[in-house]
Amino acid sequence: MRMSDKKQNLVSGEFAVEKFDHNDDFIKSRIFTVRGVQVVLDRDLAELYGVQTKVLNQAVKRNANRFPPEFMFALTDEETEELVTNCDRFRSVRHSSVPMRAFSEHGVIMVASVLKSDIAAQVSIRIARAFVAMRKALASIAPIMARLEVAERRQIIDQQQNEERFDTIFKAMDGGDFPPQKVFFEGKHYDAYSFARKLIRKAAKSIVLVDGYCDDVTLDILAAKRGGANVTIATVAKTPITQTAIEKFNKQNPTLTVKTTGVFHDRFLILDGKELYHFGASLKNLGRRYCAVSKMDAMFIPSIMERI
């Protein structure tokens, strides 16, 4: 970057970027959902505001009374580990003794006010607009999901069957974590990774994954399972998963069995032999591109199991 593209920040003594070249899609890719709240992490916010991360955090520390918990919170070790595992650009913080900070929409604006720089003030407006746009997108989907849920409920009442789908719909209406359908936009690596691990934890006894593209990331997600749940992976013969990786997995998280099959095109996840999910992408690739996860009727489970 040319010196003409920089200017001295009179507050921090550091050079700050004078021009902001990132588009709105880039800004949206820096917004994560953590603890049910849309946030921007300190490292990403520092990049967007054109300052060093330590400079941003020092400014926040000097003005701690302006950042209540609903404006800013520190990530736990578990949240940091999941984020680092799923996002390569955060690997450098794996062994950091300083926890990453997450800033809500109001926290993002407050940071801009304490930095007192023109670039931060301008960019904060664009970030706030990105938050609003994402909320509107989610709100536009809500009525469609509500209509689908009502239709499903009517069908179940008419047929007097499928109690499992009935419970699922009402859990979704009550704000449950696992609605019948879920969509992940491209770049939502952390959200998709976190969702997959939570889904795996639902199984108490058995997990069956049908996925032709498995690797160590797949095993990392499956490692989130409960202790008593056995895992079966049905994948292609030339899977990147090595026998050594399987043995190490079983020493810590028994029991994993890998089977080979070439009859499946799609990806399926079966939990405890009674819940069936269809994935639009391999488990390890969730969040890379726009894809969906849908819960299917359990009646298809026997035909899938016969082909494994």
- Distance CA(255)–CA(213), nearest Å, equals 20
Q: Where are the domains of the chain?
A: 3-132, 179-306
- Distance CA(14)–CA(224), nearest Å, equals 42
Please state, rounded to an integer, the average pLDDT across all residues of the chain.
Answer: 82
| pLDDT tier for residue 249 given thresholds of 50, 70 and 90 | very high
Structure tokens belonging to residue 201: 């934890």
126: Cβ contacts below 8 Å, ≥ 6 apart: 20, 24, 27
User: How many residues are present in the chain?
Assistant: 308
Give the CA count within 13 Å in the CB-facing half-sphere of 252. 11
Mean pLDDT of 218-238: 94
| pLDDT tier for residue 145 given thresholds of 50, 70 and 90 | low
153: Cβ contacts below 8 Å, ≥ 6 apart: 166, 169, 170
Q: Can you name the CATH fold of 179-306? A: Endonuclease; Chain A (3.30.870)
DSSP secondary structure of 56-110:
HHHHHHHTGGG--TTTEEEPPHHHHHHHHHH-GGGGGGTT-SSPPEEE-HHHHHH
Structure tokens belonging to residue 120: 């931060």
pLDDT in tens, 1-60: 333 344 434 333 343 444 455 677 888 889 888 988 889 999 999 999 999 999 999 999
Cα angle, residue 269 at apex, residues 266 and 271 outer, rounded to 5° = 160
What share of the chain in percent tops pLDDT 90? 47
Note the pLDDT of residue 168: 53
Strand 256-260, strand 230-235: pairing: parallel
Model pTM above 0.85: no
